[in-house]
Chain A
Amino acid sequence: MNPEPVVATDVSTVTPTSSGAELPGSLTSGTGEPQPASTGSARSFGIRGLARWEVALFATFVAVFIVGRVLSPEFLTNYNFFNMGLSNGELAIMALPMTLIIVTGEIDLSVSSTLGLASSLLGLLWMHGWPMPAVIVVVLICGAFLGAFNGFLVTRVGLPSIAVTIGTMLLYAGIAEILLGSNIVSNFPATYTNLGVYGVPGIGLSYSTVIFFVLAIIFGVVLHFTPFGRSLFAMGANQEAAIFSGLRVKRTKMILYIVSGVVCSGAGILYTFRLSTAEYDNGTGLVLSVVAIVLLGGVSIFGGKGSMVGVVFAVLIYSGLLDALLLTGFPQQASGIVIGGLLLLSVLVPSVPEFRARFRAGRHRLRKQQVPEAAIVHSGSVARPLEASDSGNEVGRGGPSI
């Protein structure tokens, strides 16, 4: 048994150097320092790479709030915090189950339609005179079924989740339309619609915000501190391996989709009460914002990587930024530029070191080869950086990230 640990430590010490196999490239720069850093942020699944991303998010968060304060004195007021939470609460809540699902390497694009369907059903049942507590229970159960349907198609039938949930997104939105048609229900009792007007007593934040923070803590603990949560990372990182190590992959994913359905219906209830309006197209288009937030939070679209802290910061950045833009009179519809830019940066920045390493490796390889023909072709070509990156591609030491 003695050699075993030795081998294990051997592997763990060797891995960083072998993953940074472009080391020859660092000879030209004279220092080995950038290389480990680049491999760390681009490839490491460990705590270091993640921690760095969260620090960056925290810095962005602070920057957004400082800039917001500078631009408008109303930014850092209780009233504004209430509004900020009110308008983004449902979005933020939907990002939580989405995080778990994306960590397992799947996706759920039907969240906004689930919200819309919950809203429609709420309106329909209320219109028919059901008592409100019963309506809420039925809506949540319905949400569980919607999630279970997604989960069934993904886990039992074995269909790709992205296609399934694009389908159910259309389907659920369609059912919402069928249920409510062009009716608009808005005669909800004030006890319920008040949650769009008043905050939680003593805290001052909106109910949806408080619910978000409570759920975020629960989801965060489940994701990071329970065997169930850790198994989600295992599935996302390597599904085959997860199956062979005895994880109940199908059942786990099924549970996640059901949770997502229930939570999104809950968000639908909050949304309906906040606007005190049930319409079939409530929440249309929110899904892309939810996905954007989760990815901005550092969760990998391929699964296996991400943290709840990152997502919470992403939510804060998103709502802070939108609100700051609103207060400064930036056309609200165009705020997509900023959100999209942020999303783009969030995927581009981590890939820069890898790209640079790949580029340098390609150039180094070309120089080392010293094949006259090749040199002429490459130096004469307009698309030289492209060639270099392609040849880096063929050498292919970095993990293929397609």
Chain B
Amino acid sequence: MSSQDTALIQASGSPQRLVDTVFRLREYGIIVVLIVFIAVTTGIQPRFLGQQNIKFVLLNATIYALLALGETMVVVSRQMDLSVGSVLGLSAYVSSDLFGQVHGIPIPVVFLVGIGIGLACGVVNGAITAFARVPGLVVTLATLYIIRGVDISIIGGGEVVASSLPAHFSAIGSDSVVGVPYITICVAIIIAIGTYSLRSFRAGRELYAIGSNPEAARLVGIPIARRVFSAYAISGAIAGLAGVIWASFYGTVDSTAGTGYELTVVTAVVVGGVAIFGGRGSAAGAAFGALLLSTIATALYALGVSPFWDPAFDGLLLVLAITLDRGIALRLAEVMRKRTFRHEP
């Protein structure tokens, strides 16, 4: 093992590079697991890679991956957004209900309304968390209830049915190019932009700084309140967007849309390598985490395993992922210590 350590140290110039390398490996790990999983499943059940099935997995993952992008921004700054499921539900209903209310309303306007609703929710979350300095976990736990309650009181007993939606809108979730839905491509681009911004823009870097050490971030003059506020606002807007996509995908929207999504999204984010106490991880990793979870759900079905096994798998995966992360962190700390020892005897 120690020769491996030395190799690792020699391969990477500075401690920072070493850390980066290890966590990139952690992200590639998810992709490897994903590929192995798909390969095994396809080996047993070749129909798993059928066009229809791939499309279903991708569409399912699209919504979770999109939510995971917003959640990553929040989690990276050592907060949590539990309201995404409720925001998705509210946005999905209100936006799809517009087609019934206003005849011939252009689809982009519907998207804007959905994003606007999400943004409003996110702004409320962010304002309370950042400026009243209340833990975001508690605030979004409360808004999870409140937004869902508002959703239910608006809907009453009714629902939006697929037949009331215009064909163009439903097509968003079904049109595809070489088996990949357009909407998945769009979301992939959004996630790529999000990952790049988080990694390379100042505001993004500052979110990581806040997450890894709030006190240090404050001392170097990072406007914590403003950054956390923006993270929540963006997360809300993204959940709003995801709501509209949800509506176009499923067609039937009632008051239970998106219930329980918040925990799946947090699971996806953590499985994707984002540290739950912030400062580490990327939106791309989180997106792959979401893809892995959706793949598992569908693969179990394809393998003829009862769908009842799905949540247990997700839970096990999450526990394994954080245990692995912990192991990596300890190992890394050990390697770094040895290294310091060698350089400064």
**Given the complex, which residues of B lie within 8 Å of A348, measured CB to CB?**
128, 132, 134
Nearest CB on A from B336, distance (A):
18
Would B152 and A401 count as touching, CB distance under 8 A?
A: no
Are B142 and A344 in touch, CB under 8 angstroms? Answer: yes
B218 engages A347 (CB within 8 Å): no
> At the interface, yes or no: A59 with Cβ under 8 Å from chain B?
no
A340 contacts B218, C-beta separation under 8 Å: no
Main DSSP-derived SS at the A contact region: helix
Bound complex: CA A394 to CA B143 (Å): 29
Q: CB within 8 Å of A: which of B238-280?
A: 255, 260, 263, 266-267, 270, 276-277
B266 to nearest A CB, angstroms?
6
Contact A177 B311 (CB under 8 A): yes
**Residue of B135, B156, B277 with highest tally of chain A CB at under 10 A:** B135
Q: Does A390 contact B (CB under 8 A)?
A: yes
B4 within 8 A of A: no
Q: Once the chains bind, are A170 and B145 in contact (CB under 8 Å)?
A: no
Compute how far the CA of A389 lies from the CA of B218 in the bound complex, rounded to whole angstroms.
Answer: 13
Q: Which of the candidate stretches B34-42, B158-166, B183-191, B223-231 sits at the interface with the other chain?
A: B223-231
Least CB distance from A136 to B in Å reads 24
Query: Which of under 10, 10 to 19, 20 to 34, or 35 or more describes the interface residues of B?
Result: 35 or more
Chain B residue numbers with a CB within 8 Å of A168 are 315, 319
Complex-state Cα separation, A393 to B210, whole angstroms: 13
Q: Are A174 and B221 in contact (CB under 8 A)?
A: no
Q: B315 touching A171 by the CB < 8 A rule?
A: yes
Give the secondary structure class of B's interface.
Answer: helix
Residue numbers in A under 8 Å from B263 (CB-CB)? 166, 169-170
The reply to whether A334 and B152 contact each other, CB–CB distance below 8 Å, is yes
Q: What is the distance, in angstroms, from B164's C-beta to the closest C-beta of chain A?
A: 23
**B139, B214, B260, B323: which contacts A344 (Cβ < 8 A)?**
B139
> Does any Cβ of A come within 8 Å of B215's Cβ?
yes
**Beta-carbon contact of B153 and A334 below 8 Å:** yes
Query: A interface, how many residues as a size bin?
Result: 35 or more
Report Cα–Cα, A355/B127, bound state, in Å: 13
CB contacts under 8 Å to B, within A346-380, are 347-348, 351-352, 354-355
Residues of B within 8 A of A335 (CB): 149
Residues of A within 8 A of B322 (CB): 159-160, 163-164, 167
Q: Are B308 and A166 in contact (CB under 8 A)?
A: no
The residue from A158, A295, A331, A336 contacting B145, defined by CB atoms under 8 A apart? A336
Chain A residues with CB under 8 Å of B153's CB are 331, 334, 337
Q: Which of A163, A164, A295, A302 has the most CB of B within 10 A?
A: A163
Question: Once the chains bind, are B218 and A400 in contact (CB under 8 Å)?
Answer: yes
Interface contact A396-B134, CB-CB below 8 Å? no
Instruction: Tell me the chain B residues, 189-247 only, with Cβ under 8 Å from chain A.
Output: 210, 214-215, 218, 221, 223-226, 228
CB A151 to nearest CB in B, in angstroms, measures 13
Bound state CA distance, A366 and B135, in angstroms?
27
- Report which residue of B79, B146, B156, B260 has the largest number of chain A beta carbons within 10 angstroms of its beta carbon: B146
- Is the CB–CB distance between A393 and B149 below 8 Å? no
Q: Are the CB atoms of B226 and A401 closer together than 8 Å?
A: no
The residue that A292 contacts in the complex, of B141, B215, B260, with Cβ under 8 A, is B141
CA distance A80 to B22 in the complex (A): 60
CA gap between A335 and B152 in the complex, in Å: 10
> A354–B225 Cα gap in the complex (Å)?
15
B312 touching A178, Cβ below 8 Å = yes
- B149–A390 contact, CB under 8 A? no
Most A CB within 10 A of own CB, among B255, B260, B322: B322
- B323 near A343: Cβ-Cβ < 8 Å: no
- B326:A177 contact, CB within 8 angstroms: no
A162 CA to B215 CA, complexed, in Å: 22
Question: Residue A207 at the B interface, CB < 8 A?
Answer: no
**A401 & B315 in contact (Cβ 8 Å cutoff):** no
Q: Do A170 and B314 touch (CB < 8 A)?
A: yes
Which residue of B has the minimal Cβ distance to A340? Answer: B145
Nearest Cβ on chain B to A190's Cβ, whole angstroms? 30
Q: Is B144 an interface residue (CB 8 A)?
A: yes
Q: Do A347 and B135 have beta carbons less than 8 Å apart?
A: yes
A221 adjacent to chain B (CB < 8 Å) = no
Chain B residue at minimum C-beta to C-beta distance from A171: B315
Task: Name which of A285, A291, A334, A348 has the most chain B CB atoms within 10 A of its CB.
Answer: A334
Q: Say which residue of B215, B260, B277 sits within 8 Å of A400 (CB atoms).
A: B215
Chain B residue contacts of A347, Cβ below 8 A: 134-135, 138-139, 142
A164–B133 Cα gap in the complex (Å)?
A: 26
Q: Are A355 and B132 in contact (CB under 8 A)?
A: yes
A158 to B230, CA, bound (A): 32
Please tell me if the beta carbons of B308 and A344 are within 8 angstroms of each other in the complex: no
A340's partner among B132, B143, B260, B318 (CB-CB below 8 A) is: B143
Query: Once bound together, how far apart are the Cα atoms of A401 and B78, in whole Å?
Result: 12
Q: How far is the CA of A129 from the CA of B96 in the complex (A)?
A: 51
> Which residue of B has the minimal Cβ distance to A344?
B142
* Chain B, residue nearest A160 (CB): B276
State A162–B276 Cα separation when bound (angstroms). Answer: 8
Complex CA gap A358/B337 in Å reads 41
Cβ contact within 8 Å between B143 and A153: no
A178 to B255, Cβ gap below 8 A?
Answer: no
**Contacts A396-B218, A401-B135 given; does A333 touch B267 at CB 8 Å:** no
Residue of A nearest to B311 (CB): A174
B333 to chain A, nearest CB (A): 12
CB-CB under 8 A for A344 and B146, given A159-B326, A163-B322, A170-B315: yes
Q: For residue A201, which residues in chain B have a CB less than 8 angstroms away from its CB?
A: none
A288 lies within 8 A of B139 (CB): no
- For A153, A168, A169, A337, the residue with the greatest tally of chain B CB atoms inside 10 Å of its CB is A337
Determine whether the beta carbon of A393 is less than 8 Å from that of B223: yes
Some 19 contacts from A to B, beta carbons below 8 A apart, are A153-B319, A158-B326, A167-B316, A177-B308, A178-B309, A182-B308, A292-B142, A301-B135, A302-B135, A331-B152, A333-B255, A336-B146, A340-B145, A355-B131, A386-B131, A386-B226, A393-B225, A394-B221, A400-B218
Listed in ascending order, the chain B residues whose CB lies under 8 Å from chain A are 78-80, 128, 131-135, 137-139, 141-146, 148-150, 152-153, 156, 210, 214-215, 218, 221, 223-226, 228, 255, 260, 263, 266-267, 270, 276-277, 306, 308-316, 318-319, 322-323, 326
**11 additional contacts, CB 8 Å, given A171-B311, A178-B312?**
A160-B277, A174-B309, A285-B260, A337-B145, A337-B150, A348-B128, A390-B223, A393-B223, A402-B78, A402-B135, A402-B214
Query: Which A-B residue pairs are the 6 nearest by beta carbons?
Result: A174-B312, A171-B315, A170-B315, A340-B145, A337-B149, A167-B318
